[in-house]
Amino acid sequence: MDALKAAVWSSKLEDRRDALRLRLHTMGIKKLLNKDERESVKPKHLSLATLPTYLKEKLISGLLFLVSIPALFISLLHPKSLLGGLFLAALVIISAGLLLVAILSGSMYYYLSQPVDEKQRQHYLNQHQHRIALTLHDENNDLIGAFPPLASGTDNMRGALSVKTVPPVFWALIKAPADKSLHFAAQQPHFWTLYKQIIQFKDAVYKGVNLAAPYQTTSPPSLLQHIASSLQSPPQNTLKAQGFIDRLLNYKETLQLARHLFPYLSQNNGKEFKRWSAMHAPLLAADDDVYGLTAIAATLFGKKVTALNAGQQALLATAYHQQTPMALLFTANAKTRQATWKRLIKQSQHAATQHYKKNQPQTLRRIMTDLEHMKSAPSLAISTQWLNFLHNNPDNEQRYHHLLQRSDLTLGKLKPSLYQAIQNAVENQAKNVILTDVKISLPILQNQQLDNVLNTTFNTIQRFYPTLFSKKLGQTPTKKGALISIQIANEQGNIIRSYQRGSVSQRPIANLSDLAISSLLLAQNDRPKTRYCNKTYTGIRNASEPKRDGVSNCNALGKKGHAFSLQQSIQQEKPLPLLYALSQTHLISTAKLTTLYADFGFLQYTDADEKPSAKVLAYELSVGAVQSTPMNIHQIIHALTRQVYNIPYNKSLSMINTLYMSRLSAKGENHFTQKSTKNAPKSLQAYLPNKTSHNHMQTLLAIPSNKKNNPLKFLRSVEKKYGVDFLLVKSATS
């Protein structure tokens, strides 16, 4: 009987040992009990530098080993003792904890491993597209400001400036704190591999998400969390002060973004992931300005991203992870600015040392050297020419730091027309195309000189000839001043000088309508010397005598003032003979006049809803009541010059030189450029089909040979004095 009891007790002891082995295996310390698979306690490269990391990784195994040996003997010798019970209870609690970790991590892994929802992915791409603001460059590629995102449909959204290439030091240092285990391999690790890393207190990254982050109390926000946060509306500019619920919701957004978007971002060794991390970073901005690496590099250092040195990259990466309010570096308070700068320098040195000291000492030395030369917070990075442009006004200098406000300073009154031109340029683009940068053809500094000269000239004319014009040249439109638009374009269609006063939209064009009338009458085989009756018409007067109010009948055309030639009517601004030519001599039909309006881009002055008639259209055309824009008139002048003189003005006019765009595709973004000036849409071939008509038009629009009653007679002396040739001239007073 005693032998039987001993055998039973021995069997229970073996069962208890087997159960203990199973529990210890679950906790990842099987090797401590298996002599054949024993792990060397000392790692291959154990040193003082690696000791803290090693101890952290082996902490749970070491503690369990130290506690379990005496507790094991006590529980075996005294199974009913308090210590033995506590040990078994601890094992149960630890096992339950590990099981809970497995369930939570497994759930996240399962969710992330599900197929991508194309609709959800497109939703994120749309959010990205709606947050890309416009970078503005002048003809010298100087950054002159920014516009809010066009795709957002609102002017008060800040947006991110596009980043084409992410510099290496910046990428390495923003990745280091929370994403050092981030990888972009197509083959992602299995769950049990990740689970083993989690219970060893290591990062376990799957599709850009660290599955161990919820159990790491000191884990900083990951790059994916920053991207998810910035894509929210409005974008979050910090993850530091979030409460528990906000952090939970942000983590949920991060998981969703990782599942549907990480496969897209990770292509080409994470090229898009790097770009998005550098772009969608509201932290990297002056207060309430466009943001991202491009924006902060321009405002803080006056550089393009590709021109940042290693120290500048390190500082911006540190500011990104420390979530430092960059607006402090743009404050007018010099002490606050310098204190923030010194703190960033010190943090940057520490971060660079931690990351580069072991493996890349040369890079570390380069960073440290650059940081040593950055002892003072940078002042306004601007050339002497631009400082003169800002008139050395401190308020303007502060506004120049702010890219959205910089465009107000540099473009001034041209800003609305440029914004409209950009919208027109992209309105027919595909939905997957993002406009990122715009280069304008206008040299801002030289154009400012034109502004100053014209303002002085207008004020002088107003002072010496106060009653010459019905509007005041020297006053703003709000003070009954004239609306003025002056534009000079080159042969390529680029506007190289522009002056704007007031918002000029569709408006009556006065006697510039003669350009269309001349073309139409020459198409009827009329000549410059063809004469038309100066018949009276209610409400119309010629600009000059004789017979300014016309004649009642056309029976004596040989008498003075009873008839005028086409050339006289055009050059002396006489609408009565032109109206007679359209409505009586040729009986131009409604259909022909409607086509003429469309070809020349004219609008009716009267209610457009009314059905047009030949009588009304001819009347509006002859008195210049038809409406158009200065830009359209400029296009007509170029079309006439091209047709009549065979000069290659074959491009439509634009203030924009080049559009920089990217096309969203399944494999990432494809960047491309496009010239904004396209083949000119206006063609006058139908009205001026041959050499004879070309010669007639040259005669009609030349400088008048008869000086009497010709407002353009002074141009003869201008030609002689300056040695220029005027090809086409036409006044437009009404």
Q: Map out the domains of the chain as residue ranges.
A: 12-37+48-112, 507-657+680-722
Q: How many residues does the chain have?
A: 734
- Quote the tokens at residue 493: 């269609």
What is the rounded distance in angstroms from the CA atom of residue 408 to the CA atom of residue 393? 15
Residue 285 and residue 403 in contact, taking contact as beta carbons nearer than 8 Å: no
530-561 pLDDT tens trace: 999 999 999 899 988 889 999 999 998 989 99
CA 45/CA 28 separation, integer angstroms: 22
Within 8 A by CB and 6+ apart from 592, the residues are 520
Question: Which has the higher per-residue pLDDT, 391 or 300?
Answer: 300
Query: The whole model's pTM is what?
Result: 0.75
What DSSP letter does each residue of 309-337 carry, written as one string? -HHHHHHHHHHHHHT--GGGGGSS-HHHH
Q: Is 652 left (phi over 0), alpha (psi -120 to 50) or beta?
A: beta
What pLDDT does residue 199 have? 81
Upper half-sphere CA count for residue 691 (Cβ side, 13 Å): 0
Residue type, 272: E
Report pLDDT digits (tens) over 576-595: 999 999 999 999 999 999 99
- d(C-alpha 381, C-alpha 50), whole Å: 43
The mean per-residue pLDDT over the stretch 327-338 comes to: 84
Strand partners, 658: 439, 675
Instruction: Categorize the per-residue pLDDT at 439 as very low, low, confident or very high, splitting at 50, 70 and 90.
Output: very high
Q: Residue 112 to residues 259, 349, 355, 393, 732: CA-CA distances in angstroms?
A: 5, 37, 30, 55, 69
Question: Rounded to whole angstroms, how far apart are CA atoms 378 and 662?
Answer: 33
What is the model's pLDDT at position 34?
38
Q: Please, what is the end-to-end C-alpha distance for the chain in angstroms?
A: 132
What number is the average pLDDT over the span 565-578? 92
At residue 666, what are phi and psi to the nearest 5 degrees?
-65, -20
Q: Give CA separation, 612 vs 258, 288, 519, 603, 687, in Å.
A: 60, 51, 21, 11, 22
Radius of gyration of the chain (CA): 39
Please give the structure tokens belonging to residue 338.
């310098």
The first and second tokens of residue 311, run together, are 């120290």
Nearest to 582 by CA among 620, 618, 554, 557: 618
513 neighbors 569 (Cβ within 8 angstroms): no
Task: Give the list of residues 6+ apart from residue 225 with CB closer than 8 angstroms, or none.
Answer: 239, 250, 251, 254
- On whether the CB atoms of residues 199 and 60 are closer than 8 A, the answer is yes
**For 664-681, what is each residue's pLDDT tens digit?**
988 888 888 888 766 665
The 10s digit of each residue's pLDDT in 126-150 is 999 999 999 999 888 888 899 999 8
Written as six digits, the tokens of 498 are: 């522009």
Q: Which residues pair with 495 in a beta bridge?
A: 489
pLDDT given for residue 139 in this prediction? 85
Tell me how far apart the alpha carbons of residues 593 and 606 are, in angstroms, rounded to a whole number. 15
Alpha-carbon distance of 485 to 513, in angstroms, equals 17
Task: Taking residues 611-637, report their average pLDDT.
Answer: 88
Cα dihedral 240, 242, 245, 246, rounded to 10, equals -90
Q: Is the pLDDT of residue 37 over 50?
A: no
CA dist 532 and 521 (Å) reads: 11
pLDDT mean across residues, the chain: 80
Measured distance CA(733)–CA(572) in Å, rounded: 11
Q: What kind of fold does domain 507-657+680-722 have according to CATH?
A: Beta-lactamase (3.40.710)
Angle CA 351–353–355, to nearest 5? 70
Residue 623 has pLDDT above 50, yes or no: yes
Please name every residue paired with 508 in a beta bridge, in sequence order, or none if there are none.
627
Confidence of residue 19 (pLDDT cuts 50, 70, 90): very low
pLDDT at residue 80 in the model: 60
**What's the longest Cα–Cα distance across the chain?**
155
Residues 6+ apart with CB under 8 A from 90: none
Cβ-based burial of 379 (10 A; exposed 0-12, middle 13-18, buried ≥19): exposed
> For 55, how many CA atoms within 13 A lie in the half-sphere containing its CB?
6
Looking at 102-106, 628-632, 706-710, which range is the least confident one?
A: 706-710
Any idea what DSSP says for residue 132? Answer: B
Residue keyed to tokens 């520490």: 350
CA distance 504 to 54: 72
At 388, is the secondary structure helix, strand, or coil?
helix
Question: What is the rounded CA–CA span in Å between residue 208 and residue 373?
Answer: 36
